[in-house]
A and B are shown apart, each in its own frame.
Chain A
Amino acid sequence: MQRRKFNIIPVLFLLPSIALLLVFVYIPLIQNFYNSFFDFSVFSQTKTFVGLENFKNLLADKVVSVALLNNVKYAIISVVLQVGLALVLAYILEDKLFHRVAPFLRVVYFMPVMISISVVALLFGFVYNPQMGLLNSFLELIGLENLKEVWLGNPETAIYSVIAMSQWHSIGFVTLLFIVAIQKIPKELYEAADIDGAGKIRKFFSITVPQVREAIFVNTLITITGSMLVFNEPYILTNGGPGFSSTVMSVHMYQTGFVKDNMGYASTLAIIIFLLTAVLALIQIKLSRTGKDD
């Protein structure tokens, strides 16, 4: 094949993407690092250089430790339920014994994914409502009045109520991803295990889990990343309250920047969020086989 003359197409075709990514993705990131050394407010033209002051404040900020802990709780519970439970659910739904109800259940479990998280959060405002809420009414119905709770107003339960809503929203979706992965497992493996007399639990751990380990790994990564970035759910349901009991890093950053108008310190909080997720994202990119020559 003979060499073509200089081709303008690659430049023209790449230019819009590169320009948009540069202006709206990369430059903001760099600017955020720069901003973290300053003290400034939203509309002021001047920034005061404060050196590492913002980073020192980070260590003294009690809300940061509460927020980080809540992010970690979010991550642990989400991994257990959205990776662990979802995989078990997928395994059960793919079992021959349930093949008649599985198509219906798959659709039902998937339904919340179709609803936007802001609608879901408003809906769960009704679920958790202390007076007429579905949850308290249900507890009353089955005679467990003493478990009734001001779910979002109690600092002990607020964050768990928010996390529970996220699980409700996402489990069915991850289950579907695992179903897709399980369907790719060669049937012969299970047939061979049947001949050996392996039970269902045995087959789950010695065939299903190893065969879908890539999906497990990727879903774990995404779930942890999502838990570190989570914003909408706590913001809409509790706005981080009562007090700071259900705040997370993103909400703390938003409030520091746009409510308290302390932009410099908010930038420093954003860096922490970036560091928490960048490594995970890097692993994910590596895994998605985007290498130079594939």
Chain B
Amino acid sequence: MEQVIKPSVEQVIKPSRKLRKFSIGQFVTMLMLAAFAIVILYPLLWMVISSMKSYNEIFNDVWGLPSTWIVENYSLAWSKGISGYFMNSFFVTSVTIIAVLIIGSMAAFVLARYKTRWIDIALIFTIGGMMMNPQVALIPLFNILTNLDLINTHLALILTYIAYRLPLTILLLRGYFLSIPKELEESAIIDGCTEFGIYRRIYLPMSVPILLTTIVLTAFFAWNEFLFATVFIDSETLKTIPSGLMNFRDALRTDWGVLLAGMVLASLPMIALLIFLQKYLVQGLSEGSVKG
């Protein structure tokens, strides 16, 4: 928070402005901003603090700090189920990301580079998938996956996650690919580069920012997806974090400290990812404008 300490250039040059700073309106605005910050921050802080309290302390003294910080809640949460959900989520999310990146970038490459009537149709077909939503397809998907003998497997989640992420991914990647100068590929063709070479050696390396955006958006979706994870996976050992947490809650009953510890653990990977790649999330969302 260095910014808070340093006086800004503006204030040094024009001290007269400082006077206006304390008008009633600004004071009230500042107060409201701070109140809102507390409303946002406090429940999160409470989750972390209470994750190290006992049930009695949570119940009888909601606001207080723990008399002893029960760090064991975390190891208990991990061993009582979170570790399994965590690994499942990690596996499903990683495979989904890799597949979306490869399949989506290949399609976007063709859709950006070629112009025929068939390509136009393919473009409408792929991007049009954005109109469809998982809720509407839920029941038929359940039947299809049952018929394919995929229900209650990780593949059921992976395949559907890939399919529902492709339209947005292709939209974002294609938009980016279109901005790659044509001269590059023309000189590459003269040098004897194949189509696949152009894809791999020119398009992919030049699109790292948008590929990172795709990773963030896909990771976020796959890690948090709840509906498919609840309906398609039945066995406890295969559940991912969002649906697993519900089981975890029901199994623990009043072991609130452990539940809260599990919730914190479940949140850590995405917090880490977003801290590192926040810029790319914002970029992707302001271009593709999709949330949830």
Contact = CB atoms under 8 A, between A and B. Distances in A.
SS class, residues of chain B in contact with chain A: helix
Contacts of A35: 139-140
Contact of A111 (B44, B142, B246): B44
A27 B41 contact: no
A284 B132 CA distance: 13
Residue in A21, A43, A93 whose Cβ sees the most chain B Cβ within 10 Å: A21
Given A10-B110, A118-B226, A168-B40, A281 B4 contact: no
Contact of B136 (A32, A218, A219, A285): A32
A141 to B, nearest CB: 8
Contacts of A97: 21, 26
Interface string A93-117: 1001111110111001101111111
Interface residues of B, number: 102
A16 B8 contact: no
Contacts of A43: 146
A271 B226 CA distance: 21
A117 to B, nearest CB: 6
A24 B127 CA distance: 14
Given A99-B8, A226-B291, A28 B144 contact: yes
A20 interface: yes
A281 B263 CA distance: 33
Contacts of A46: none
A134 interface: yes
Given A14-B122, A17-B126, A132-B62, A170 B291 contact: yes
Given A112-B44, A131-B59, A134-B46, A105 B37 contact: yes
B274 interface: yes
B170 A17 contact: yes
A98 to B, nearest CB: 7
A146 interface: no
A273 B59 CA distance: 40
Interface in B150-190: 159-160, 162-164, 166-167, 170-171, 174-175, 178
Contacts of B122: 14, 18
A49 interface: no
Interface in A203-222: 215, 218-219, 222
Given A270-B135, A290-B127, A21 B291 contact: no
Interface string B233-276: 00000000111011001000000100110010011001100100
Nearest to B231: A258
Query: Could you say which interface size class chain A belongs to?
Result: 35 or more
A123 B263 contact: yes
Given A100-B4, A108-B37, A226-B292, A25 B129 contact: yes
Contacts of B166: 17, 20-21
Contact of B138 (A25, A131, A215, A270): A270
A147 interface: no
B289 A25 contact: no
Interface stretch (A50-58, A60-68, A153-161, A175-183): A175-183
Contacts of B120: 292
A23 interface: yes
Interface string B43-62: 11011001000000011101
Contacts of B217: none
B270 A114 contact: yes
Contacts of B71: none
B19 interface: no
B107 interface: yes
B123 A292 contact: yes
A29 B224 contact: no
A28 B274 CA distance: 33
B129 A32 contact: no
B131 A177 contact: no
B60 to A, nearest CB: 8
Given A118-B226, A278-B131, A17 B33 contact: no
Given A114-B270, A290-B175, 12 more contacts: A24-B163, A25-B129, A28-B136, A89-B36, A108-B40, A111-B44, A116-B270, A172-B40, A181-B286, A266-B139, A278-B131, A288-B289
29 contacts: A16-B107, A20-B166, A23-B144, A23-B163, A29-B132, A32-B137, A35-B139, A89-B36, A105-B33, A111-B40, A118-B224, A118-B241, A118-B245, A119-B245, A122-B263, A123-B47, A123-B263, A126-B256, A168-B43, A173-B291, A231-B226, A254-B227, A257-B138, A257-B139, A274-B133, A281-B131, A285-B131, A289-B175, A290-B123
Interface of B: 1, 3-4, 8, 10, 21, 26, 29-30, 33, 36-37, 39-44, 46-47, 50, 58-60, 62-63, 103-104, 106-107, 109-111, 114-115, 119-120, 122-123, 125-133, 135-144, 146, 159-160, 162-164, 166-167, 170-171, 174-175, 178, 195-196, 199, 223-224, 226-227, 231, 241-243, 245-246, 249, 256, 259-260, 263, 266-267, 270-271, 274, 282, 285-286, 288-292
Q: What 5 pairs across the A-B complex have the smallest Cβ distances? A: A28-B137, A24-B163, A28-B140, A31-B140, A17-B107
